[in-house]
Structure formats: structure tokens, C-alpha cells
């Protein structure tokens, strides 16, 4: 297997964490996202699109030795968590909310996410997290709009 693909798919040592490596992958993504400057939405979407295809490739390569959607593969969390954060205000409570929502929807796997895991190779690994990320982003934005409407 391509060593670079495996290191990328597992985020180096993150995928080897003995407890909940997927949650740690999401947390690392949230922390890095919080520390980086907020890019223009067009730039963020372009980077995310490129990242999606890189993640599909890396996860597919890593699966060859680790198994389908193996626990150490956490690059899919990076993509899904990043989608969940799109449009969120750059404040700690928003990042925390997006983190919690993404973890809930990633475990629950609603709206076809469970079925998406059956796609071959890295496509199945990453696509279910994309769905969880989109649902999380929508849920956060709807919740945020409701709070703003109530005047809180």
C-alpha cells in the first residue's frame, strides 16, 4: 500500500488513538479550523472539493490493508466535519455545536448515509461523512436562525 496514502488517511497518529479515533479526527479538524483564518466561501469550497477527492483516494488505498471503513481511517471525518462548519460563525460555541452535531449524525447515519457506506472503496468511506456533514450544517444553521428569530 502507498505509505503516503495511509499516513494521510489516518492523519498520522490520530487514527491510532486507542479510544474513538473518529471523534479525535473531528476534534482535530475543529481545532485546526478554529485556529486558521476564515477563507472566502468560494476558496473554502474549492479546497473542500479537492480535499474530497484526495480523501476518497487515500481512504481507498488505506482500505486495501486496513479493511473497509476501518477505524484508523479518519480523513473522512476531516471532510465531513469541515462541511458541518461551513457558514458557522467563528466563535467557540458555534464550533462546539457543529462538532457535536457532526458526531451525532456521523454515528446515526441518517438520510442515506448508512447506504452510502456500501459504495466501493474510498467513495463509501467518505460519502457517508459528507452526508453527515451536510445534515449537520443544515441543522446548525436552522438552529441558529431559530435562536436569532427568538431574539436570543
Residue 101's pLDDT is 98
The whole-angstrom separation of Cα 101 and Cα 110 is: 12
Q: Which residues of the chain have pLDDT under 50?
A: none
To the nearest whole percent, how much of the chain has pLDDT over 90? 80
Domain ranges of the chain: 3-149
3-state DSSP assignment of residue 131: helix
pLDDT tens string 119-144: 999 999 999 999 999 999 999 999 99
Residue 54's pLDDT is 97
Residue 1's pLDDT is 54
The whole-angstrom separation of Cα 11 and Cα 74 is: 7
Amino acid at each position: 500500500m502507498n505509505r503516503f496514502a495511509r499516513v494521510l488517511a489516518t492523519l498520522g497518529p490520530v487514527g491510532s488513538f486507542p479510544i474513538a479515533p473518529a471523534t479525535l479526527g473531528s476534534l482535530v479538524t475543529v481545532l485546526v479550523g478554529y485556529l486558521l483564518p476564515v477563507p472566502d466561501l468560494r476558496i473554502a469550497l474549492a479546497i473542500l472539493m479537492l480535499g474530497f477527492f484526495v480523501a476518497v483516494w487515500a481512504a481507498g488505498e488505506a482500505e486495501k490493508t486496513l479493511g473497509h471503513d476501518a477505524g484508523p481511517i479518519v480523513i473522512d471525518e476531516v471532510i465531513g466535519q469541515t462541511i458541518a462548519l461551513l457558514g458557522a460563525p467563528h466563535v467557540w460555541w458555534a464550533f462546539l455545536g457543529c462538532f457535536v452535531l457532526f458526531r451525532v449524525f456521523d454515528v446515526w447515519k441518517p438520510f442515506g448515509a448508512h447506504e452510502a457506506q456500501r459504495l466501493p472503496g474510498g467513495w463509501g468511506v467518505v460519502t457517508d461523512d459528507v452526508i453527515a456533514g451536510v445534515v449537520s450544517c443544515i441543522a446548525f444553521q436552522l438552529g441558529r436562525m431559530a435562536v436569532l428569530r427568538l431574539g436570543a
